[in-house]
Amino acid sequence: MRRTRLSWLLVAVLLCSGCGYSSRSLIDERYRTVYVKTFDNLTFYRGFEFELSRALVNEINAKTHLRIVPMNQAQTLLEGRIVGFKQNVLTEDVDDNVRELEITLVVDMTWTDLATNRQLRKVNSFTETAQAKFDIGENLESATAEAFADIAERLVNELEAEW
């Protein structure tokens, strides 16, 4: 009887202790607001800065507790620049028409506490690749949209507190 009680007590303690996981955001809870400055674009491809900034805003709104606000109301500033964009032909048909293309996007980003002017996170040469397969209806525009969404997701993950 005593062994049964001890077993049940052990089970109860294990159930109450949890597994260490939490549903809380891993982004520092002190920061509630962010201003996302339109990224600079050091490439020759115009408009990419707006697409990336929009993808970041969408990702922040969808997956964090941070609120996007105007600069004069923000606790933090998220800014960066697109430093590289390359297109590489992967396959061509017999008439030299591109069938498959790979794009590579390279981004720098800084997240700053505006009250202290302290950098909370800084990432350099953050790289994302995507492919366009023209045979199945993809194109350069769809590949760049995919790359912007993917790199925005990864950049927002970089805002999380270090372990």
Q: How far apart are CA 56 and CA 79, in angstroms?
A: 10
The pLDDT-based confidence of 13 (bands split at 50, 70, 90) is low
Q: Could you tell me if 86 and 43 are in contact, meaning their C-beta atoms sit under 8 angstroms apart?
A: no
Per DSSP, the three-state class of 68 is strand
Over residues 58-91, the pLDDT tens digits come to: 999 999 888 999 999 999 999 999 999 998 888 8
**What residue type is assigned to position 84 of the chain?**
G
Residue tagged 């270090």 (tokens):
162
Residues 41-66, mean pLDDT to the nearest whole number: 92
| CATH architecture, domain 27-157 | 2-Layer Sandwich (3.30)
pLDDT of residue 99: 81
Closest among 113, 126, 116, 56 to 85, alpha carbons compared: 126
